[in-house]
Amino acid sequence: MTAPPRKPPVKRLAKPSHDHPTMQLRLGKDGAGSLFRNAYMLMLNTAVSAVLGLAYWVIAARYYTAEAVGEGSAAVAAMRFLAGLAATTLIGAVVRFIPRGGPHTRRLILQTYGISCLVVGIGCAVFLLTLDVWGPNFAPLDGVWIGLGFTVGTLGWTVLSLQDGVLTGLREAVWVPLGNLVFSVGKLILLIVLAAGMPVLGIFTSWSLAIALSVIPLGLLVLLRLAPRQMRRTRARKPPERREIGRFLLGDCTGSMFSLAMINLLPVIVATQFSSEENAYFYVALTIGGTIEFLAINMASSLTAEASYDPRRLADGIRGSLVRMGILLMPIGLVLVAGADILLGVFGEGYAEGGATVLRLFALAAFPRVIVELYFGVLRVQGRTTQLAVLQGIMCTLVLGGSLALLPVVGIAGAGWGVLLGQVVVALLAAPGMIAVVREAHRAPPAPELPEPKFDSSMTLTLRSPWSEVAAGTADDYGTGWARRAAYYRTIAEDEEEERETSGQQPVLRTA
* % residues pLDDT > 70 (the chain): 67
Q: Assess whether pLDDT exceeds 70 at residue 45.
A: no
In a domain, 502, yes or no: no
- pLDDT for 208 equals 92
In a domain, 301, yes or no: yes
Helix (H) or strand (E) holding 353: helix 351-381
- pLDDT for 450 equals 44
Determine the average pLDDT of the residues in 371-375: 83
Q: For the chain, how many residues are written?
A: 512
Q: Which residues form the domain of 321?
A: 21-446+454-492
Backbone dihedral region for residue 241 (phi beyond 0: left; psi -120 to 50: alpha; all else: beta): beta
* % residues pLDDT > 90 (the chain): 22
- CA 353/CA 104 separation, integer angstroms: 55
In a domain, 482, yes or no: yes
Determine the average pLDDT of the residues in 67-71: 88
Determine the average pLDDT of the residues in 485-503: 49
In a domain, 504, yes or no: no
Determine the average pLDDT of the residues in 326-352: 86
257-274 burial, b at 16+ Cβ within 10 Å, e below that, comes to: bbbbbbbbbbbbbbbebb
- pLDDT for 302 equals 58
- CA 283/CA 64 separation, integer angstroms: 15
- pLDDT for 444 equals 56
In a domain, 464, yes or no: yes
> In angstroms, how far is CA 6 from the centroid of its own chain?
55
Q: What is the pLDDT of residues 77-135, one digit of tens each?
A: 899 889 888 777 777 677 667 777 778 888 888 988 998 899 999 999 999 999 988 88
- pLDDT for 252 equals 63
Residue with the bigger pLDDT between 167 and 507: it is 167
Determine the average pLDDT of the residues in 159-165: 85
Q: What is the pLDDT of residues 244-296, one digit of tens each?
A: 677 766 666 777 778 777 877 888 899 888 988 898 899 888 888 877 776 65
The answer to which of 133-137, 155-159, 320-324, 401-405 has the lowest mean pLDDT is 320-324
Please, which pLDDT band fits residue 181 given cuts at 50, 70 and 90?
confident
How many Cα neighbours within 13 Å face the side chain of 203? 29
Q: 255 and 385 in contact (C-beta within 8 Å)?
A: yes
In a domain, 265, yes or no: yes
Residues 6+ apart with CB under 8 A from 232: none
In a domain, 503, yes or no: no
- CA 217/CA 315 separation, integer angstroms: 41
Residue with the bigger pLDDT between 448 and 466: it is 448
How many Cα neighbours within 13 Å face the side chain of 115? 13
In a domain, 12, yes or no: no
327-349 burial, b at 16+ Cβ within 10 Å, e below that, comes to: ebbeeebeebeeebeebbeebbe
For the entire predicted model, the pTM comes to 0.66
Please, which pLDDT band fits residue 166 given cuts at 50, 70 and 90?
confident
> In angstroms, how far is CA 330 from the centroid of its own chain?
23
Residue with the bigger pLDDT between 313 and 487: it is 313
- pLDDT for 308 equals 44
Check residue 274 and report its DSSP letter: S
- pLDDT for 364 equals 92
Please, which pLDDT band fits residue 11 given cuts at 50, 70 and 90?
very low
Task: Name residue 388's amino acid.
Answer: L
Number of domain units in the chain: 1
Most confidently modeled of 222-226, 426-430, 508-512?
Answer: 426-430
18-42 burial, b at 16+ Cβ within 10 Å, e below that, comes to: eebbbbbbbbeeebbebbbebbeeb
Q: What is the pLDDT of residues 384-441, one digit of tens each?
A: 778 888 898 999 999 999 999 999 999 999 999 999 999 999 999 999 988 887 777 5
Please, which pLDDT band fits residue 362 given cuts at 50, 70 and 90?
very high
